[in-house]
């Protein structure tokens, strides 16, 4: 199992537009990924409703987990995405 922790960098957190960018990247990766806020329940990272329901704000600590064979590469790419300001995209 691969796991990464990242701090949300987007100015306004993971609201609708940045969440869409993120969930589309997860879906495109083709591997199951779970995302959670520190101490929270994990949700399917490819689910826009699940991700938005977490109420992720700038500075929140997030954990990404996957058991897929190519998980390390995928999680590294997703961490890079969350570490950028998706509001500027």
DSSP class of 7? E
> Rounded to an integer, what distance in angstroms lies between the CA atom of residue 20 and that of residue 70?
22
What are the residues whose beta carbons fall under 8 Å from the beta carbon of 10, sequence distance 6 or more? 18, 58, 82, 84, 85, 86, 87
Catalytic residue, from 3, 9, 10, 15: name it.
15
Contact call for residues 33 and 75 (beta carbons, < 8 A): yes
**Catalytic: 12?**
no
Positions marked catalytic: 15
């Amino acid at each position: 199992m691969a796991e990464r922790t990242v701090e949300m960098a987007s100015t306004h957190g993971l609201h609708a537009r940045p969440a869409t960018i993120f969930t589309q990247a997860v879906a495109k990766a083709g591997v199951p990924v779970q995302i959670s806020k520190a101490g929270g329940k994990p949700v399917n990272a490819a689910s826009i409703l699940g991700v938005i329901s977490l109420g992720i704000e700038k500075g929140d600590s997030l954990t990404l987990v996957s058991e897929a064979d190519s998980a390390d590469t995928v999680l590294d790419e997703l961490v890079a995405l969350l570490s950028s300001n998706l509001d500027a995209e």
